[in-house]
Structure formats: structure tokens, C-alpha cells
Chains A and B, each alone.
Chain A
Amino acid sequence: MREMVLEQILLVTDGCSNVGGDPVEAAAEARQQGIVVNVIGILHGQALGEQGRREAERIAAAGGGVCQFVQPERLSHTVQAVTRQAMTRTLHAVVREELQTLLAEGSVADLAPEQRARLAASVETWAEASHLRVFLLLDTSASMAPLVSTVRRAVRDFFLSLAARSGPSEVAVGAFPGVEGALDLLVDWTTDGSAARLALERPPTGLTPTAPALRATLAHFRSWRILGEAGGFVALPPASKVSADRPPNGGLLRDYVF
């Protein structure tokens, strides 16, 4: 059986898309390919209006992900919280399905809080050991310019947390709009981005092509998948990071079903 890989796109934006089609459709395409789309809306100035908020929520809903709005100073924390929440949500869905096939009736919501606490702890253990692949998709249109250092710090901080996970993780970072196309790849898939340079200072533009950027991100995921399989290598980072005593997922499931 192939190991389960949790694939996510995390869109960080402060406004509404204004060119290139509907990002909600692009998010739905991602979800069909098994890639979850999360959105963080940064609140500063007048950038993210009512329209921007609604769009962010709809992108996350269509992408099966989490949406949160934050003040710039909470960005680092939120990037990690949203990623974690989306992981546990995906795994909870797997558990629910598993439970449904095992028990004819009953659902997780019917469990007493003490039992749900045990379930949550098991899912967290599982999430920590899982293979995670995240594409950080950063809006770098003109209104984001004052936030460059905040975003850079949040990305660095995210790398620090990923480096400490016991499961393997890969990150890539892209900025949109690209200098020429829809998206510029700033950091390609890496297991350790702490030394990566993040060229977030970009020529100012009022364009926010969220939908094309999402599609370009999907294409980047696909190229990785094809490369990983055709090249005959399993897309796994250094073995040292995979803990040897990692329990098989089935064992974790059994823990709380019985």
C-alpha cells in the first residue's frame, strides 16, 4: 500500500482576485486531485473588504480546507495552526470513514468528550508522523508590500516547525503575480528551507490573478508526482527524519475503535 501523503496549498492573501477567472473553481479542481486548499486572509488597512473575505471563505470551502483571518502580527502562529488543523481534519475524515465501515451506526460526534480527547491525541500523533507536502502560495501584489518582512518571518518560522516534525515534509514557496507568468516559484520542493532566500520584493502591480496562480500550483504538484513515479524514486526526504518506531496507521486506528 502506498503511504498516505497529505498535500496542501496554503494561500496567503490580503485581497480579492481581480483577473484570470474564478479561484473557487480552481480550488475545487485541487480538491478533486486530493490537494486541500487553505486560506489565510491578512487584515490590514482596507485591503481585504467584505468581498475579499467572502472569496477567501469560498476558496477554502471549495478546497476542503481551513480559512482564517488574522492581524499581521499573528501570521506566524496562524500559518502553523491552519496547516495543523487541515491535517487533523483530513485524518479525522479518514477515521470517520473507517468507523462508518466498522460500525453500522454511530459517529465520532456521539463519543463522550473524554473518548474524543483520546481520539484527538491519536490523530495528532498520526498527523505528526505523516508525510506532509505544503505549497505556500503568497500574494505579493502591491498592497502586500508593507508586509514583506512579516511574511518572510512567518515562512522562516514555518520552516523551523516543519524541520522539527517527526514525519517527512516538503515545502515549496510561490509568489503571484509572477514577473511574467501567473506564478513565480521562489523555493522549489525542499525538506529544509531554512537557508532559502525569499525574494518577496517584487515589481508593484495591482493585479491579483488568484485562479491562474492556483492552477499553476496544481501543475507544479503534478510535475512532482510524475517525476517521483517516472524517475523510479519514492519522493521521500532523508530517512533520518522518519522515526523507526513509527506505529503503522492501522495500529493507531485500532487503538480507539476498540
Chain B
Amino acid sequence: MRTGTVVCGRWNRNVYRIEGVAGRGATATVYAARGPAGRVALKVADDEACVLVEADMLRNLEARGVLPGPFLRDVDEADIDGRSVLFLALDWVDGIPLHRFPAGRRPAVAAAVLTQVLDGLERLHAAGFVFGDLKPANVLVVPGSLPRAVMIDFGGVTPRGRCVRAHSELYDRAAWGAGGRVAEPAYDLFAAALTFLAAVIGEAPLAAALARPQPVVALCDIIRADSRLAPYRRVLEPAFHGRWASATAMGRALAAASGAGAEDAAAWDRLTVGLMGACAAAAGWLLLVSAAWWERL
């Protein structure tokens, strides 16, 4: 669908004007669109059964009050190119996917995002669900003095104990040989740890580690080799081994590590300020000396 296309819902009679493509996934294409109540993300289904189940899940989570948003505003069908297609209208989130958010490469910022993700996971887990398809592309960051993290794509949300509905290989603990694909909190916590790591160091080193014969060992080696990640080792490694009992427990360890990380950063900053001061003093002194020398000539 091109910009300007108008989509009319057959059942609820809402009209949406397409403003652009927001993203393309495995089960649907998401458009930015303007509807009767403002901007929405219009999720147009390729795999109808899959998107219908996602809609049902969103309604279910909303009713239980575990969904912080984006909310599902409309489910309808429309004729597009002579074909009847199913679509969802979700609140538009004006954010940047974590993997394209430049500040996310700073461990302290990625940790702030992870904290919020863990909060969201805890609420979901407490209600008996697992998020499933957690990865940087499904975490939008709304920039600000305190960046806000919003999880999108609830197509992977699965009742506990079943097979996870949707996964992405790089963030799937089963692919890493670190557990099964059964929906349980530890499944999400593994993906959460990897999401943090991918935000800081990028996906390429992770893909390289996944190709190794003992991928989780390779992963731990990456963390040990990077001094910026040192404070977070005690948060990430237990997640890779499925040892956190809950998102809250992991969150507490993260808070402690972020405190330590911030102190490290502060110490580092003091050091830089000190060094820069010393340099400036030395330069000034040199200038003075050379000026005096010129005078003498």
C-alpha cells in the first residue's frame, strides 16, 4: 500500500489513511496511518490466524490490566487490491527501535532500558504469560532525559508451559543450546540479557558466538573481554544459564550493577577531567615559557 491509500474497515467503519511503511515482519506488514483518533500502527496480516491470535491475546492482557500499551484500538477487515485482509490498529509509539538508538550503545543507557523491560516482563509473568519474541527490534525507545522503553509485537506472547509462539533465532535460548522452547520466565530473561548485550556491542559478535560449537561459553568470553561490561556480568551470566528465579530478581541485580557501573563511570569522568586539566596547565605553561623565550631573542 502506498502513502495516501485509504483503508476502510468493513465492520467498524473506521477510515485510515496510510502515511508510510513502519516495518515488515514475518506475519504482517506494519504501516503508519492516521485514523479517527489520531496516529496508529496499522498491522496488516499476511498470516491471518497468527494475527487473530495476537489480537485475542492483546484483548486478554488488556482485560487483566497487564498491558502497559500500546493498546489495540480496532480489529477489522478491509478490501485491499480486491482482496479481503485483516488488520489491527494499535496506538502509535513514537520511538526508535533499540538497535537503531545510538545512545543505547552506552551500557548505562542500555541498562536503563533493560530495567524497564524487566518491569514489563515481571507483570506479564505474574499473569501467567511469557513475552516470547524479545529482541532489540521489538523494544522501542522514546528519547528524552529519561529514555522510555516500550515493548511492541505481542505476537509471541504465550501462556506459560506451551511452545513459544514466535522467536528469533539469535535471541532464542533453544538455538543457543541453553534450554528448551517451552514458555517460562527464564526463556524471556535469556532474551532480555541478549537484548542488552546486542544494544551495547551490536548483533555481529553475537551471531559469531552462536556459530561456535559451545555458543554460551563463547558468549561469556565476549563479556569477560569487554571491560565496559564487567559490572553487568553478574546480571547477564545467570540469565544465560537460566538461574534467575524471576524478572524482579534479575532487575535487583541490575540495579546494584548499574549503581556500581555509574560509580565506575563517575570515577572515569573525574579521571578524564583531571587529565584534561593537567594537559591544559602543561600547555599554558609551555606557551608562557616559549613566549618568554621569544622575548629574550
Chain A complexes with chain B: yes
Residues in B whose Cβ lies below 8 Å from that of A120: 49, 52-53, 56
- Are A166 and B52 neighbours in the complex by a CB distance under 8 Å? no
- CB <8 Å contact, A113 and B182: no
Q: Would you list which residues of chain A between 96 and 122 have a CB under 8 Å from chain B?
A: 112-114, 116-121
A-B contact pairs, 8 of them (CB 8 A): A88-B49, A119-B52, A120-B49, A120-B52, A120-B56, A160-B180, A161-B163, A164-B174
The answer to the question of B293 belonging to the interface, with a C-beta cut-off of 8 Å to chain A, is no
**Residues of B bordering A, CB below 8 Å:** 11, 26, 47, 49, 52-53, 55-57, 59, 75-77, 86, 161-164, 169, 174-175, 180-183
Contact B161 A116 (CB under 8 A): no
Q: Is the CB of B53 within 8 A of A124?
A: yes
Known pairs A76-B169, A117-B55, A164-B162; list 5 more (Cβ under 8 Å): A85-B49, A120-B53, A157-B175, A161-B181, A166-B162
Query: Are B53 and A164 closer than 8 Å at their CB atoms?
Result: no
Q: Given known contacts A76-B169, A88-B49, is B181 in contact with A164 (CB within 8 Å)?
A: yes
Given contacts A113-B75, A120-B56, A128-B163, contact A164 B180 (CB under 8 A): yes
Cβ A112 vs Cβ B182 within 8 A = no
Measured between alpha carbons, how far is A76 from B52 in the docked complex, in Å? Answer: 23
What B residues does A215 contact at CB under 8 A?
A: none
Q: Whole-angstrom distance between the alpha carbons of A157 and B49 in the complex?
A: 22
Measured between beta carbons, the chain B residues less than 8 angstroms from A121 are 52-53, 56-57
**A residues near B52, Cβ cutoff 8 Å:** 113, 116-117, 119-121
Q: Is A33's CB within 8 Å of the partner chain B?
A: no
A163 with B180: in contact, given A77-B26, A121-B53 (CB under 8 Å)?
yes
Q: Is A81 an interface residue (CB 8 A)?
A: yes
Complex CA distance for A116 and B45, rounded to whole angstroms: 14
**Minimum C-beta distance from B286 to chain A (A):** 59
- Shortest distance from the beta carbon of A119 to any chain B beta carbon, whole Å: 8
Which residues of A125-183 are within 8 A (CB) of B?
128, 157, 160-161, 163-166
Q: How far, in whole Å, are A161 and B56 apart by their CA atoms in the complex?
A: 23
- A128 near B162 with CB under 8 A, answer yes
A 206-242 binary contact with B (CB < 8 Å = 1; else 0): 0000000000000000000000000000000000000
Q: Is the CB of B53 within 8 A of A165?
A: no
Asked if B86 contacts A113 (CB within 8 A), the reply is: yes
B11 and A113 contact, CB distance less than 8 A: yes
Question: In the complex the two chains form, what is the Cα distance from A166 to B52 in whole Å?
Answer: 21
Smallest Cβ distance from A125 to chain B, in angstroms? Answer: 8
Contact B75 A117 (CB under 8 A): yes
- Contact A243–B161 (Cβ < 8 Å): yes
| B163 engages A166 (CB within 8 Å) | yes
Q: Are A160 and B181 in contact (CB under 8 A)?
A: yes
Residue of B nearest to A127 (CB): B49
Chain B residue numbers with a CB within 8 Å of A243 are 161
The answer for the CA separation of A163 and B179 in the assembled complex, in Å, is: 11
Give complex CA distance A76, B180 in Å.
16
Tell me the bound Cα distance from A200 to B53 in angstroms: 36
Question: Whose C-beta in chain B lies nearest to the C-beta of A163?
Answer: B180
CA distance in complex: A57, B183 (Å): 34
Whether B59 pairs with A117 at a CB distance below 8 angstroms is yes
In the bound complex, what is the Cα–Cα distance between A85 and B52 (angstroms)? 13
Q: Once the chains are docked, how many angstroms separate the CA of A85 from the CA of B48?
A: 10
* Interface pair B56/A165, CB less than 8 Å apart: no
Query: What CA separation (Å) do A21 and B218 show in the bound complex?
Result: 50
Closest chain-B Cβ to A195's Cβ sits at a distance in Å of: 12
**B161 surroundings in chain A (CB, below 8 A):** 166, 243
By Cβ-Cβ distance, the 6 closest A-B pairs, closest first, are: A120-B52, A164-B163, A164-B181, A121-B56, A117-B56, A117-B55
